[in-house]
Amino acid sequence: TKTKTEAIEVVATKVDGTMVYANGQFRLHHGLEKDSDISTLNIQDLKPYPQTAEHWNYILGEVKKGGGHGHFFLTEPIPGSPEVLAFEGNAYVENNTMGEEVYWAFGHDVSERVRNEQNIRRYNQVLDKVLENLPVGIVVKDVDHGFKFIYRNKESFNRDVPFLDAVGRDDFDFHPYEIALQKRQQDEKVATTGQEMYWVVEELDGHGNVIYLDKRKMCIKDENFNPLLLSIEWDITEIEKMKRTLAIAKEKAETSDKLKSAF
């Protein structure tokens, strides 16, 4: 089993790219024999290392710009090994005993991390599409950063806040002060007490029609990230209209029964 040290690629080159040193892992990945002479090889000839002098000079310049230290990330670093998605590491420059600048690079395989990031992006894309198309308004705020919006789906029934413009801003950027203050006080209460809020409210839609919204606010806490405030609202207009219609019908029936009893 390879240790973490053995899994690290180490390579050293002169300014012009002439190779000075390559450890066993580097040689293995690039098809170089264990004890072969590499002093006649140039790193520019090893894919996917820089194929042009301009690119090589750019990399050297970045290391110098960083005060002798630079960071690198290489995609598909091993020809013929598509399972290795990326290498990441650090490069340093120092002078050898002859006063020549030698660039040392230490890299390691980060394919697993890249795969995980790709999967997360894929899952997030699916989740975003699901949330965007649900008939539910969803708003997420960052509690520790002034309750700024970090997500709003397009079904949010708060018509005063364009969902694309909301991220990184808060209620005071979109609402009159009194309304924004009321929302902030609700948020702070939920975040402080941890108790969920629930209420039904009557509002007007963008066309001035009465709608009824079922609203809930809750705080999500986890030791691995900042606490989040989640607001969920459903349009229950049809249900409320039906309830009111049934209530009126019930009242009429009861009134009718009373009149019958009176006669």
Give the model confidence (pLDDT) of 248-263 as tens digits: 888 888 887 777 776 6
- Token reading at 154: 């397009």
- Report DSSP letters for 208-238, one per residue: S-EEEEEEEEEEEEETTEEEEEEEEEEE-HH
Residue 139 has a CB neighbour count (10 Å cut-off) of 22
Q: Please report where in the chains the tokens 């203050």 appear, as a residue.
A: 181
Q: Cα 6–7–11 angle (5° rounding)?
A: 85
Identify the pLDDT of residue 2.
Answer: 45
**Residue ranges of the chain with per-residue pLDDT less than 50:** 1-6
Identify the pLDDT of residue 5.
Answer: 44
Q: Cα 125–129–133 angle (5° rounding)?
A: 170
Identify the pLDDT of residue 161.
Answer: 58
**Residue type at position 232:** I
pTM confidence score: 0.54
As a whole number of Å, the CA-based R_g of the chain is: 32
Identify the pLDDT of residue 79.
Answer: 65
Long-range contacts of 150-154 (CB under 8 A, 24+ apart): 150/228
**3-class SS of residue 50:** coil
